[in-house]
């Protein structure tokens, strides 16, 4: 009898393992840090071993859907636009009937729905915490804690996020897995700087502070704008470039007008070319009240930009104050503004921090994080 090609391969390498089917459950796929992180992770999995499908709830947050599909990842929105509970029913059907080996949730509300299913209706469920629990609505926080013991495992994107979790007695706390970025996509150097300035329409010789952060309460743009007023006293030509969108954009624009900062602030919108425009910045600023592990911060550091940020969430796990950036308390615009102005005053110091920031960012490689996640999946499924 003639041996098949498959039998020859099995004789040499042993039986070929079947691909494991994994469902990732997201709240949305807009241009937020957690969403971009999920996209990069899903595209980096070993396709010969893992079949990743992504579903999401918020139909209007779909900016990254094409990025996933272009990377060969199947994506579906489970919200058909009907009554408010319809997405939960669609998600239950997806989990119950999809034949998945594992479900990985990335947002607490959908996670609660999945965990609440009877054991026979769902495969093992794992969860990643992307944000500190203080950010959650009290009902969400309560439901998340109540069902947390049904996780087969949980991860947190930073130590700060892990410490904020309050799982019930007996449930294991999340383990820390620092995720990362596609380091190969980082742009830096004189040519990249010129191209980025042209793309933004900013003169080459103007000092630029950049921030990539959607207009939401946790990002605290109000503090950043008041800090800019401090910087302008010493650097009247400085430009602040705000990249992002969100529900508070009109309020931020109104604050710019009220502070008389119109000529110093550029609203660059939500963009798909963040990696290309980052080199335009002399400094990267992040004034958040809460954070998990900010992907935009890592991308800026990988592009060789000195960061000035608040010491919240996982940020102190990335930046060492005075070594590869500056760390300031949240909600203190004068201190934040002085730190920005001081670094604009001393280009050599700024360059040293930027070089060390670039080296530090190399520790956050998305491929390395995904390989660890794959091993984690294997342990849970073994």
Integer Cα distance of 277 and 254 in angstroms: 25
Whole-structure pTM value: 0.87
At 34 the pLDDT is 81
At 108 the pLDDT is 92
At 85 the pLDDT is 57
pLDDT in tens, 297-318: 999 999 999 999 999 999 999 9
Integer Cα distance of 33 and 131 in angstroms: 10
CATH topology of domain 183-361: Rossmann fold (3.40.50)
Please name every residue paired with 155 in a beta bridge, in sequence order, or none if there are none.
128, 175
At 12 the pLDDT is 38
CATH topology of domain 17-180+365-381: Rossmann fold (3.40.50)
At 10 the pLDDT is 41
Ranges of the chain whose pLDDT falls below 70: 1-17, 80-85
Q: Where in the chain are the domains? A: 17-180+365-381, 183-361
Residue whose entry in the numeric block shows the structure tokens 């001393």: 346
Q: Closest by alpha carbon to 315, among 280, 354, 287?
A: 287
Integer Cα distance of 132 and 314 in angstroms: 9
Question: Do 17-180+365-381 and 183-361 share a fold?
Answer: yes
pLDDT in tens, 102-161: 999 999 999 999 999 998 899 999 999 998 988 888 999 999 999 999 999 999 999 999
Distances (CA, A) of 216 to 65, 161, 196, 262: 22, 19, 26, 20
DSSP 73-128: -EEEE---SSSTTHHHHHHHHHHHHS--SEEEE-SHHHHHHHHTS-GGGS--EEEE
At 1 the pLDDT is 35
């Amino acid at each position: 009898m003639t041996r098949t090609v498959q039998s020859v391969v099995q004789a040499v390498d042993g039986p070929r393992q079947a691909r494991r089917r994994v469902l990732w459950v997201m709240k949305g796929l807009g241009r937020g840090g957690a969403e971009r992180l999920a996209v990069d992770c899903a595209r980096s999995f070993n396709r010969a071993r893992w079949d990743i499908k992504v579903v999401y709830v918020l139909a209007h947050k779909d900016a990254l859907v094409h990025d996933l599909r272009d990377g060969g990842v199947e994506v579906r929105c489970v919200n058909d636009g009907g009554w408010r509970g319809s997405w939960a029913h669609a998600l239950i059907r997806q989990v119950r009937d999809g034949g998945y080996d594992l479900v990985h949730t990335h947002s607490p509300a959908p996670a609660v729905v999945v965990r609440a299913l009877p054991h026979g209706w769902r495969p093992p469920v794992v969860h990643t915490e992307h944000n500190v629990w203080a950010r959650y609505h009290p009902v969400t926080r309560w439901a998340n804690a109540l069902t947390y013991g049904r996780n087969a495992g949980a991860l947190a994107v930073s130590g700060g996020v892990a410490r904020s979790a309050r799982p019930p007695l007996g449930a294991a706390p999340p383990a820390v897995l620092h995720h990362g970025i596609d380091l190969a996509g980082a742009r830096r150097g004189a040519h990249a700087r010129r191209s980025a300035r042209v793309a933004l329409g900013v003169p080459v010789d103007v000092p630029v502070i950049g921030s990539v952060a959607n207009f939401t309460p946790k990002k605290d743009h109000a503090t950043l704008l008041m800090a800019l007023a401090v910087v302008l006293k010493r650097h009247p030509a400085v430009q602040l470039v705000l990249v992002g969108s969100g529900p508070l954009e009109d309020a931020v624009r109104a604050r710019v007008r009220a502070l008389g900062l119109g000529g110093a602030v550029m609203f660059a919108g939500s963009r798909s070319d963040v990696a290309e425009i980052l080199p335009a910045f002399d400094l990267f600023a992040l004034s958040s009240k809460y954070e998990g592990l900010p992907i935009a911060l890592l991308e800026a550091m990988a592009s060789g930009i000195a960061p000035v940020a608040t010491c919240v969430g996982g940020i102190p796990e990335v930046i060492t104050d005075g070594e590869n950036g500056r760390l300031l308390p949240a909600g203190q615009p004068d201190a934040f503004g002085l730190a920005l102005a001081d670094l604009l005053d001393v280009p050599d110091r700024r360059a040293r921090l930027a070089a060390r920031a670039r080296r530090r960012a190399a520790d956050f490689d998305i491929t390395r994080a995904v390989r660890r996640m794959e091993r984690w999946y294997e342990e849970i499924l073994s």
